[in-house]
């Protein structure tokens, strides 16, 4: 790929920065200061933190005092599990993000249906088995965009006296977020147009959680450490922005329609379930996701193969495995549109995909002879 700007279709890795967030970040850099300081500089810094907290509270319909600012989604999830899991049976969705899976190592896995939504029958059976459970489910899956039926899940939890923790990292800022009586909800700033370095855990009213990092007692003793002012300012600005669900969904649908035209064997994971408007996981049987991601990257299209390990290697998707894709679990390409995806995104993506597909098809044909 030479001489052309790359097309970013990997918003679930990190959402495109919102201009308002960028401005807020730069302004906060000029303010500086430590919110814990007694003097005027401290007050100015504190004002920025509290403005951001207020913006989050307004967006999600919760009280500012129930929001604990963290370093990001992973820490928010870890803080929730740390505080809520003790003495409880932890039930974790089979398609949860590693941030949750690794924070609850001994958890029982909740199976999902073929469409990626949690198997409500299994959930109910497990909740009936005994009291004091903690259920951890994501609002939207990071690879497929599939939305769990959280209303029904919350109702089941309520009936069985179970706590619910929701990882809303991928859905917040894109679709509506309902508190649903959840004990806690994890958010990440850079997944909704802010920058990495800030996140939040929204707690149920009056719920107190012990700190994971006690430090100097910031966040009312719930999370120590000097607040990353610029990241928090950007978080507050990003969360106030609107998201054009219809426009993004139309682009995504155009991509999926085009994929089916080009490669009839492509399977869109979770296509029949409610999904995020921006996400599509296209499984091309027999072609490793790695080959597809590299081929498209070389053509200037930035997509991913689901969750990438920090070493950058591409492995089979545990999400697709949990959805029963078997050997094709390693063949899924995640296309996730950013909020500012250009109108020509489907055409550009499909052009590159068709080129890749034609080459791979002729290679397969020549190998078969």
Partner 1 sequence: MSGGVDSSVVAALLHEQGHEVVGATLQLYDHGAAVQKKGACCAGQDIHDARNVAENLGIPHYVLDREQRFREAVIQDFADSYARGETPIPCIRCNQTVKFHDLTELAADLGCEALATGHYARRLDGPDGPELHQAVDPVRDQSYFLAQTTRAQLAKTLFPLGGYATKAEVRAEAVRLGVAVAEKPDSQDICFVPTGTYSDVVGKFRPEALEPGEIVDVAGNVLGTHRGLARYTVGQGRGLGLSRREDEAPLYVAELDAKRRRVVVAHREKLAQTRIRVGDVNWLIDPPQGAFRCEAKLRGRERPAGMTAEWDGAELVLTPDAPGIAAPGQAAVLYQDGRVVAGGAIRS
Q: What residue ranges bind partner 1 (CB under 8 A)?
A: 2, 290-291, 294-295, 297-298, 309-315, 359-360, 363
Please state, in angstroms and as integers, the Cα–Cα distance from residue 30 to each residue in 27, 48, 131, 216, 229, following that order. Answer: 5, 12, 52, 24, 10
Closest CB to partner 1 among residues 10, 66: 10
Of 129 and 265, the one with the shorter C-beta distance to partner 1 is 265
Residue 59 CB, nearest distance to partner 1 (Å)?
37
Helices (H), 242-307: 245-262, 289-298
Shortest Å distance, C-beta 297 to partner 1: 6
Q: Report the run of H or E that residue 357 belongs to, with start and end.
A: helix 345-368
CA dist 155 and 161 (Å) reads: 10
Q: Which is nearer to partner 1, 87 or 312 (CB)?
A: 312
Q: Rounded to the nearest whole angstrom, what is the least distance from the CB of residue 103 to partner 1 in the complex? A: 16
DSSP-derived 3-state class of residue 111:
coil
Alpha helices (runs of H) in 130-218, residue ranges in sequence order: 150-159
Q: Contact at 8 Å (CB) between 334 and 304?
A: yes
Closest CA to 364 of 305, 307, 285: 285
Kindly state the smallest distance separating residue 315's Cβ from partner 1, in Å. Answer: 5
Q: Which is nearer to partner 1, 36 or 361 (CB)?
A: 361
CA distance 347 to 359: 18
136, 157, 309, 331: which one is catalytic?
309
Q: Which of 36, 157, 122, 138 is nearest to 80 (CA)?
A: 138
- In the complex with partner 1, the residue whose CB is nearer, 125 or 358, is 358
CB 144 within 8 A of CB 275: yes
Quote the crossing angle between the two packed helices 150-159 and 120-129, to the nearest 10°.
Answer: 20
Shortest distance in whole angstroms from residue 312 CB to partner 1: 4
* CB 287 to partner 1: min, Å: 8
d(CA 191, CA 168): 10
Q: Where are the beta strands (DSSP E) in the chain?
A: 7-8, 67-70, 89-93, 108-110, 133-138, 163-167, 184-188, 199-203, 267-268, 279-283, 301-302, 332-336
User: Among residues 2 and 39, whose Cβ is nearest to partner 1?
Assistant: 2
Residue 309 bears catalytic tag: yes
Structure tokens, 98? 């590693």
Closer to partner 1 by Cβ: residue 184 or 292: 292
Residue 105 to residue 330: CA distance in whole angstroms: 24
Q: C-beta of 226: minimal distance to partner 1 in Å? A: 27
| Cβ within 8 Å of residue 163, ≥6 positions away | 84, 88, 133, 134, 135, 157, 183
Catalytic residue IDs: 309
């Amino acid at each position: 790929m030479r001489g052309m700007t790359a097309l970013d279709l990997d918003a679930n890795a990190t959402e495109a920065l919102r201009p308002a967030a960028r401005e807020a970040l730069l302004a906060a850099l000029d303010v500086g200061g430590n919110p814990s300081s007694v003097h005027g500089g401290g007050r100015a810094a504190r004002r920025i933190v509290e403005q951001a907290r207020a913006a989050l509270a307004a967006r999600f319909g919760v009280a500012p005092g129930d929001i604990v600012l963290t370093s990001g989604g992973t820490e928010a999830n870890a803080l929730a599990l740390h505080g809520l899991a003790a003495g409880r049976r932890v039930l974790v969705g089979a398609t949860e993000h590693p941030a949750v899976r690794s924070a609850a190592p001994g958890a029982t896995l909740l199976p999902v249906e073929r469409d990626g939504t949690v198997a409500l029958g299994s959930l109910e059976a497990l909740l009936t088995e005994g009291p004091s459970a903690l259920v951890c489910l994501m609002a939207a899956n990071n690879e497929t965009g599939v939305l769990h039926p959280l209303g029904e899940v919350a109702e089941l939890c309520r009936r069985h006296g179970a706590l619910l923790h929701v990882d809303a990292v991928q859905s917040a800022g894109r679709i509506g977020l309902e508190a649903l009586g959840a004990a806690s909800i994890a958010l990440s700033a850079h997944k909704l147009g802010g920058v990495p370095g800030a996140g939040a855990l929204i707690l149920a009213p009056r719920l107190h959680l012990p700190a994971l990092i006690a430090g100097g007692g910031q966040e009312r003793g719930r999370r120590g450490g000097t607040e990353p002012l610029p990241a928090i300012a950007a978080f507050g600005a990003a969360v106030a922005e609107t998201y054009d669900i219809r426009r993004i969904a139309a682009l995504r649908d155009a991509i999926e329609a085009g994929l089916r035209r080009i490669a009839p064997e492509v399977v869109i994971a979770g296509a029949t379930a409610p999904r995020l408007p921006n996400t599509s996981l296209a499984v091309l049987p027999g072609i490793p996701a790695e080959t597809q991601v590299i081929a498209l990257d070389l053509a200037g299209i930035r997509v991913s193969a689901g969750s990438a390990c920090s070493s950058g290697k591409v492995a089979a998707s545990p999400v697709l495995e949990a959805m029963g894709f078997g050997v094709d679990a390693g063949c899924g390409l995640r296309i996730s549109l950013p909020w500012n995806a250009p109108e020509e995104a489907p055409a550009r993506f499909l052009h590159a995909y068709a080129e890749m597909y034609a080459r791979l098809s002729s290679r397969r044909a020549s190998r078969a002879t």
